[in-house]
Chains A and B, each alone.
Chain A
């Protein structure tokens, strides 16, 4: 099926099976491998992207349902080579080990901060509960999201 997918501000005319996952199309057709497969069952958050500004699990999102709505992936966050405040905060806090969960964590955090610009620690934990990190970087991720809130408030983009 032919459709238009708008990803990170670029429109892609694609012809794919509409039942394919958004994750599969991003990774395998558009070469955007920053978004990760972790479980394929909406349980780990590694595949989180923004669909119309909302965080979704792209592994269970049929690509057809994403057609016509802007998609943002981890690759689309930096602006003119400058990291998004959430990315910068993850760097500042060293909030990753293997970092395989990091793109999904960052995308979820971006959505969280859009709704709750100055979240409490509990709000961060609640917001990220669906994102699994197996290396155990949770305390640093919480610190990074709170730092990002401060960075954003101080004029960072995003």
Chain B
């Protein structure tokens, strides 16, 4: 590296010196401006972006923004390049096993032109990272990935400009490479050295050109996890591993039934225990003790009488009837399963159904299921006295750190900048950790005890007091012509949710409606939201339509699709699977797929049905998936395989049982999750569309499996199982029809 010519510095001081960053900082402004100053020497680049709620949809570009109104500006991302060349990127996204700590770093490194090893991500820390809605909806790749690419590209351009000014050369003669600016005759200077140890801050906007995917060098490759060694040596600290000096272990007294309120409580025996803090406030009773065992023992000494909640207590046996008959008065806004929309109507469904050559009507049911992240909810809370008042810091595994920050601020009646939420890389969530109840519990106990307190839920607490994927009922009424065109489609979804509720098939007459219900159980997001339920009903029904006229289910789909990318994944999956090949007696094959959140999926499976007991076993599965330009192929395969395997549980045997406002299978011995013996050989076909923007893959690959399995069960034994899970305790073979086999 050649030294810079001293006669050519300094560069424009007014342009690059630290200046006040006036931005919408979401209540943490002071903290963040101070924080940026504390970074000291080096370059800070802040990306300001239009507020983009970029839900993946076909044709959506980098920022799916309404064109009719000007969206507010917000901070998309920021990064710091230290004097030593270390790049630190700050993002409000969190790592829950999906691999974004690696893939986002790849995207940043790609545009900034630095080695991946020089990039560190600071994630999910409300004091340090830009506001973020949360890590859900498969938005990390299309939205955050794009923002990081932009901030990386903008930073690279700034550095090129800085070098051009310093060397007084045309910037077009310079290139940025491996963390250095390289000029003519081998002259070069590292990014860090370019800042001369001065604190520089620059605000950039998002109108910056990005590198096309077919020119990617770092992105687009199967980089292993950046922190993989910590993961196999047990040194990574998950939320439930966090400790502080003098920390106590908290436990919370739980009601005897859902919604029960505390009648009487006697904690006198508990309070007499040495080293135990008891906190009672309203319906909250909790203890903090020197270890978990002591806390559990203390909890058992509490005498409490709970009052049952009034109202109906439907059970898992009559839930579907209940959901259909118990509408929720709300007619618009956000529902756990998605946005509530007006009925979607095209053409005249009633007339088209009446005049259809064939009409098929069926009701599908979907059970409540639990996420069962292997790490149950956990939080560590610490109250400290700062010069300007009390501050609460909570380490917890939540997919929505900024929402939990607000939840804590509300719970304790304090401004949210007095609350800091930090999310260590967490032991999974799958949509099940959007909330901060555990964080609030830990903070209450820590306040009462005057010491840091950790609350780590048990598996049973996770089953009883977290939330579930909504149960639902879906009525489908469809008409087809004898040559295999779907002519009418009526689809009524009760409570499952609206995600992917509209068919991807070209159907001239449609009426689609989501009807929210009163749910007796706490419900919320789950991998794919309602897309799994809606695809199950839709694709099962499409399979039945195909069989009604004796048409091959793949050919039938291709005839009714007008989306080339979706048709392509169906063709790819069918080809890789060997669709049409003979399978053994008692086996069946099926296919299902669809589109959601920017991803196109088709899954083909072979199942074996045990005719004596009705047991169903997956023999093999093939999934073809297209989510645009692939950022990390191996990471993508991981997400697809993982979604398929997780989907086996919901398809075949996972269901929450409940009666009299009590979950009756709140243990892993009673709630079956997929295990090694359930997992078939899986083949994944990646369709890499480098000409298309990159979308996420955490959710959509789960959607095709259940309907494919349902179709395969029908193919094997002639039974249409219309309830998820399909084979808990075996399927009822007494209802077998003669299948029109395609296997």
Contact = CB atoms under 8 A, between A and B. Distances in A.
A98 interface: yes
Contacts of A135: 97, 428, 638, 642, 646
A91 B97 contact: no
Nearest to A28: B291
B236 interface: yes
B291 A136 contact: no
Given A98-B374, A136-B643, A37 B232 contact: no
B426 A98 contact: yes
Contact of A137 (B237, B430, B459, B638): B638
Interface in A16-55: 17, 19-21, 24, 27-29, 31-41, 43-44, 46
A124 B240 CA distance: 29
B458 A40 contact: yes
Interface of A is mostly: loop
Contacts of B427: 36, 98-100
Interface string B547-577: 0000000000000000000000000000000
A138 B249 contact: no
B233 A83 contact: yes
Interface string B85-103: 0000000000011110000
Interface string B434-464: 0000000000000000000000101110000
A96 B98 CA distance: 10
Contacts, number: 166
Given A73-B234, A101-B374, A134-B673, A43 B641 contact: no
A94 B225 contact: yes
A75 B234 contact: yes
Interface of A: 17, 19-21, 24, 27-29, 31-41, 43-44, 46, 73-75, 77-78, 83, 87, 90-91, 94, 96-103, 106, 124-126, 128-129, 131-142
B614 interface: no
Nearest to B249: A28
Interface in B567-610: none
Interface stretch (B135-143, B165-173, B531-539, B674-682): B674-682
A24 B667 contact: no
A33 B237 contact: yes
A99 B97 contact: yes
A144 B86 CA distance: 33
A110 to B, nearest CB: 12
Contacts of B233: 34, 74-75, 77-78, 83, 87
Given A33-B234, A43-B667, A43-B668, A134 B372 contact: yes
Contacts of B679: 136, 138-139
B373 interface: yes
24 contacts: A19-B293, A28-B291, A33-B234, A34-B233, A36-B427, A37-B456, A39-B459, A41-B668, A43-B667, A94-B228, A96-B228, A97-B642, A98-B427, A98-B428, A99-B236, A100-B238, A102-B232, A103-B234, A133-B374, A134-B371, A135-B642, A136-B674, A137-B638, A140-B638
Nearest to B230: A99
Contact of B644 (A21, A36, A134, A136): A136
Interface string B666-705: 0111000111110101100000000000000000000000
Nearest to A87: B232
B612 interface: no
Given A83-B232, A129-B677, A98 B249 contact: no
A37 B430 CA distance: 19
Contact of B291 (A24, A83, A125): A24
A138 B646 CA distance: 11
Nearest to A38: B374
B677 A97 contact: no
Q: How large is the interface on B (under 10, 10 to 19, 20 to 34, 35 or more residues)?
A: 35 or more
Contacts of A100: 97, 238, 373-375, 427-428
Interface in B220-252: 224-225, 228-229, 231-238, 240-241, 243, 249
Contact of B668 (A20, A32, A44, A98): A44
B42 to A, nearest CB: 32
Nearest to A138: B679
Contacts of A21: 293
A29 B374 contact: no
A128 B678 CA distance: 12
Contacts of B460: 40
B73 interface: no
A80 B703 CA distance: 46
B667 A96 contact: no
The 3 closest A-B pairs by CB, nearest first: A34-B234, A98-B97, A136-B645
Contacts of A34: 233-235
A34 to B, nearest CB: 2
B209 to A, nearest CB: 33
B118 interface: no
A24 B243 CA distance: 14
Given A41-B669, A134-B430, A136-B645, A125 B374 contact: no
B232 A106 contact: yes
Contacts of A140: 638, 641
Nearest to B297: A17
A94 B232 contact: no
B196 interface: no
A34 B427 CA distance: 13
B634 interface: yes
B468 to A, nearest CB: 15
B231 A96 contact: yes
Contacts of A141: 676
Interface string B361-384: 000000000011111100000000
Given A98-B374, A136-B643, A40 B459 contact: yes
A34 B240 CA distance: 11
B379 to A, nearest CB: 14
A12 to B, nearest CB: 15
B673 A136 contact: no
B291 A20 contact: yes
B519 interface: no
A33 B287 CA distance: 23
Contacts of B224: 91, 94
Contact of B228 (A44, A91, A125): A91
Given A38-B374, A39-B459, A40-B459, A129 B293 contact: no
The residue among A37, A98, A133, A135 with the most chain B CB atoms within 10 A of its own CB is: A98
A140 B426 CA distance: 20
A41 to B, nearest CB: 6
